[in-house]
Structures are given as structure tokens and as C-alpha cells.
Amino acid sequence: MFNYLKELSFTRGAWLLLTTSCVALEATALYFQHGMGLNPCVMCIYERLALLAILVAGIIGFLAPKFILTRWIALLLGLYGAVKGLTLAIKHTDYQLNPAPWNQCSPFVEFPETLPLNVWFPSIFEASGNCGKIVWQFWGLSMPQWLIAIFAVYTVLFACLVLSQFKRSRSGIRERNLFS
């Protein structure tokens, strides 16, 4: 399995599939916001950013999957985004399932002063919803519960891909580094 995953990480098609899945999920989030009128909360915005990190990792991996440095940057960024998204979705679900005055998210997104995404792109990164309120369900699961499943799949995928990089390749695919 690790041989297959390592060989897969060398192909642009796999990175393109990852990028496409993230674009579809980001487009779905924007449809929920602008098409269905569901206001995103602070945790929704942070979960979007975690997904955006995975999307950027997919683009980086697509650009040069056979270069060691590029592939490792993509894999580690993707793993970070997946783990961060998973922890955010779990916390968001906790806000919804255990509402209490002491268990609430901040009413305002907190971006660094040098990167105020909510000021630059308010239609995407401005939060006006309530983290503890369940506004959408599908098959009995709320949006953050679905995100737990999605980010768990991404986390397992990236963890296996990272581990596969330590497996020696049997195929003729040759890795290239910056000095070869």
C-alpha cells in the first residue's frame, strides 16, 4: 500500500484530484452562504481556511510532484490543514452539541493585522452566524459533523502519504531534488 501511495504522490493527476475536491468543497461553502443565505460563523470561516490550506497544498503538489522539496511542502501543508480542520470541526461540533454560556466561540474573526482577510474579502471571510446554532442538517448530521468526516479522511490520507515517503520505491520513478 505504501508503495502505491508513494507512486501516487509523484503523479499530477492525484494532486489535481485533491485540488478539485477542495475547490468543490469551497464552492459548496460559498453556495451555502450566498445561494442558501446561511451566514457563516467564526468556526466556519476558520474551517474554510483549513480547507484552503489543503487546496494550496494540492496546487503546490501539482506544480512539481517529482521534486522532493515541493512534494514535502505540499504534504506537510496538507497534513497541517487537515489536522487543523479536524480539530476546528470537533470544537465547532462541541459548541453545537453542548451549548453553554462558557462554551461559545468569539463573535468576531481574529486575523493578524497584516492579513485582515475579513476586511479584504468580506463576502468570503466575514462571520455573522452563531457557532452554537445548527442551521443545516443532512441525514441527521450538521455541517461541522460532516466536516469532521471530511477532515478525518484528509488527515488519514495525508498521514499515509507522509509515511509512504519513507518507503523505498520499487518502480522506475526517480525522485529529483534541487541539486540533480
- What is the structure's pLDDT at 175? 54
Q: How confident is the model at residue 74 (pLDDT cuts 50, 70, 90)?
A: very high
Ramachandran quadrant class, 67 (left: phi over 0; alpha: psi -120 to 50; beta: rest)? beta
Per the CB < 8 A criterion, the answer to whether 111 and 22 are in contact is: no
- The rounded distance, in Å, linking the Cα atoms of 115 and 30 is 21
Q: What does the mean pLDDT of the chain come to? A: 83
- What is the structure's pLDDT at 56? 95
Helix (H) or strand (E) holding 28, with range, is helix 12-30
Query: In 3D, which of 130, 48, 52, 51 has the Cα closest to residue 95?
Result: 130
**What angle is formed at CA 117 by the lines to CA 115 and CA 121, rounded to 5 degrees?**
145
**DSSP secondary-structure letter at 108?**
S
pLDDT, tens only, 46-56: 999 999 999 99
- What is the structure's pLDDT at 178? 47
**DSSP secondary-structure letter at 45?**
H
pLDDT, tens only, 118-159: 778 777 777 777 777 777 778 888 888 899 999 999 999 999
CA of 115: how far to CAs of 44, 104, 106, 129, 163, in Å? 18, 24, 18, 22, 33
- What is the structure's pLDDT at 108? 75
Helix (H) or strand (E) holding 153, with range, is helix 143-164
- What is the structure's pLDDT at 22? 94
Q: What value does the CA radius of gyration of the chain take, rounded to a whole number of Å?
A: 18
pLDDT, tens only, 103-121: 777 777 777 788 777 778 7
Q: How confident is the model at residue 6 (pLDDT cuts 50, 70, 90)?
A: confident
- Which residues on neighbouring strands pair with residue 103, listed in sequence order? 100
CA dihedral 118, 92, 146, 149 (to 10 degrees): 110
- What is the structure's pLDDT at 23? 95
Q: How confident is the model at residue 179 (pLDDT cuts 50, 70, 90)?
A: very low
The better pLDDT of the pair 123, 180 is held by: 123
Q: Supply the residues annotated as catalytic.
A: 41, 44, 48, 105, 131
